[in-house]
Amino acid sequence: MARPREFDERKVKQALMHVFWQKGYEATSMQDLVDATGLLKGSLYGAFGDKRALYMVALEHYDHTRIQQGIDMLGGEGPAAVKIANLFDSVVEAARAGLFSGGCLLCNASVEMAPVDKQVEGSVKATIRRLQLAVEAAIGTETSEASMVSGFIICTYLGARVLAKAGAPLQMIIDSRDRCLQSIG
Amino acid sequence: MARPREFDERKVKQALMHVFWQKGYEATSMQDLVDATGLLKGSLYGAFGDKRALYMVALEHYDHTRIQQGIDMLGGEGPAAVKIANLFDSVVEAARAGLFSGGCLLCNASVEMAPVDKQVEGSVKATIRRLQLAVEAAIGTETSEASMVSGFIICTYLGARVLAKAGAPLQMIIDSRDRCLQSIG
DNA sequence: TTAGTTATTGACCGATTAGTCAATAACTAA
DNA sequence: TTAGTTATTGACTAATCGGTCAATAACTAA
C-alpha cells in the first residue's frame, strides 16, 4: 500500500520519554529529540506532530510504562505498608543512582507544563487519580479512611520526588517514608 | 561620583521574581524580563549580569521575602500544629486564588534548575534546610523526634505545592495537611 | 568648568529555535 | 509494470534567542 516505517515505534517513544524526563519541555530542542531518536525532524513531525504532541507522546508512554509498573506493584500480594514502602524506596534508589536526578516525569510535568497546558493538566490529573486509586485499593481493607490516606500518600510521594531533585539528604526521604507509613496502620 | 541608578532595586527584583516564579527559567525570555521590569536589556545585564544571574537574584529575593514570611510565621506564639496548618492553608489559598497556579518558586527551582545548576542546587538546599529548622524549632518542645518530623513536614509541603500546580482537587491538599498534622502530636 | 565614572539606550550580532516542503525512496494493489 | 500512497531526507525559512557595544546622559569630586 505505502512505504513502511523504518523505526521501532516503542523505541522512539522511549527515547522521547527519556529526553523530556531528563531535560523538561522547554529545555529540550527538536535537535535533542532528533539525536535521541535517530529520526530526522521531518519524520518526527510526520509521525507524531509538533513538539507539544511529542511531549504528550512521552507523557503517555511514561504513564503506560513507569506509572503502570508502580500500580502493578501496589496490586500484588502482601501488606500495603510494604508495597508503599517500596514505592518510596524506588525514589531513594533512583536518587542514589542519579537516574534523572531521582525525578519523575509526572511530577516534572505537573510543575512545568500543567499550569500552562490544559491537555497536560488533564493527563497529569488522570494519572495522579489512577495512582491514588491503586494506593487506595492497596490499603482499602485495612483502614476506613482509605481515600483520605491515599491522597496523603501521593502528596508525600510527590514531595519525595521534589526533595530528590533538590539534592536533599536521602535520609529526609527515608524519614518521610517512615512517618508516612505510620498513617496507614 | 557617577550617574545614579534610576530604578528601584527592590521593585526590579520583585518583577524578576514574579516572572521566573510564573514561567520558570527556560520559558522566560530576556524580553519578558525587560517588559516586566521596565529596564532595557543593557541595564539588566549591567546591574545584575546574565540570565542565570538574574534567576539567582529572583531566587534570593524569594528566599528573603516569601520564605522568610513562612519562617516568621513558624516562629510566633501558639501551638506548632496551628502554625503548620497555616503553612498548608497558604498553599490552598494560593491555588484557590490562582496565584501562580499555587506553585512555589523554591519547588519549581528544585525541579527545573537544581539538577542542572550547582549554584541553584546549593541555594535551594540551604533554603530547604532553613525552612526545616524553623519547623523543627516550632515543634521542638512538643516531640522528641522533631528533626525527623520536620523533614517529613517539608516533604508533604512540597508535595502539596506539586498537587496545586497539577490542578488536583484542593481537598487532596487539605486531607494531606490533616494527616500530616497527626504526626506532630 | 572640567575630568572621571557609571547608567541608560537602542541598534546590532551570530546562533539557535520550531517548523516546512519539494524531491526522492520504498512499498503494494491492480 | 505501473499507479497510488506514505516515509524519509536535508535544505530551507522566519522568528526569536541570549548577549554585546558604542554613543550618550547624568551625576560628583576637584
pLDDT of residue B4: 87
Q: What is the band of B141 on the pLDDT scale with cuts at 50, 70, 90? A: confident
Q: Indicate whether A144 pLDDT > 90.
A: no
Chain B residues touching residue A156 (CB < 8 angstroms): 152, 155-156, 159, 176
How far the first Cα of chain A sits from its last, in Å, is: 60
Mean pLDDT throughout A79-108?
97
pLDDT of residue A184: 82
pLDDT digits (tens, 9 = 90+) for B23-38: 999 999 999 999 999 9
pLDDT of residue A87: 97
Percent of chain A with pLDDT over 90: 92
The cell 517514608 sits on which residue? A177
Find the nucleotide nearest B52 (Cα to C1′): D18
Mean pLDDT throughout A150-164?
98
Lowest mean pLDDT among A76-80, B22-26, B52-56, B86-90: A76-80
Q: What is the band of B143 on the pLDDT scale with cuts at 50, 70, 90? A: confident
Furthest C-alpha separation in chain A: 61
Separation in Å: C30 C1' and A1 CA: 11
Distance from CA of B5 to the nearest CA of A (A): 34
Question: In terms of pLDDT, which residue wins out, A43 or A142?
Answer: A43
Strand C: positions under 7 A of a protein C-beta atom: 4-11, 16-22, 25-29
Separation in Å: C18 C1' and B136 CA: 48
Mean pLDDT throughout B83-91?
97
pLDDT digits (tens, 9 = 90+) for A96-134: 999 999 999 999 999 999 999 999 999 999 999 999 999
* Long-range contacts at B14-19 (CB < 8 A, ≥ 24 apart): B14/B61, B14/B65, B16/B54, B16/B57, B16/B58, B16/B61, B17/B58, B17/B61, B17/B62, B17/B65, B17/B105, B18/B100, B19/B58
Strand D: positions under 7 A of a protein C-beta atom: 4-11, 16-22, 25-29
Mean pLDDT throughout B36-61?
98
A98 three-state secondary structure? coil
Lowest mean pLDDT among A9-18, A51-60, A83-92, B176-185: B176-185
Protein residues with beta carbon less than 7 Å from any atom of strand D: A 1-7, 39-43, 46-47; B 1-4, 28-31, 41-42, 45, 50-52
Beta-carbon count within 10 A of B146 CB: 19
pLDDT of residue B183: 83
- Spatial neighbors of B137 by CB under 8 A, at least 6 apart, are B74, B75
Question: Closest partner residue to B156 among A148, A159, A166, by Cβ?
Answer: A159
pLDDT of residue B84: 97
Give the integer Cα–Cα distance in Å for A166 and A59. 22
pLDDT digits (tens, 9 = 90+) for B104-134: 999 999 999 999 999 999 999 999 999 999 9
Query: A148 vs B112: CB contact, 8 Å cut-off?
Result: no
Question: Closest partner residue to B151 among A100, A108, A172, by Cβ?
Answer: A172
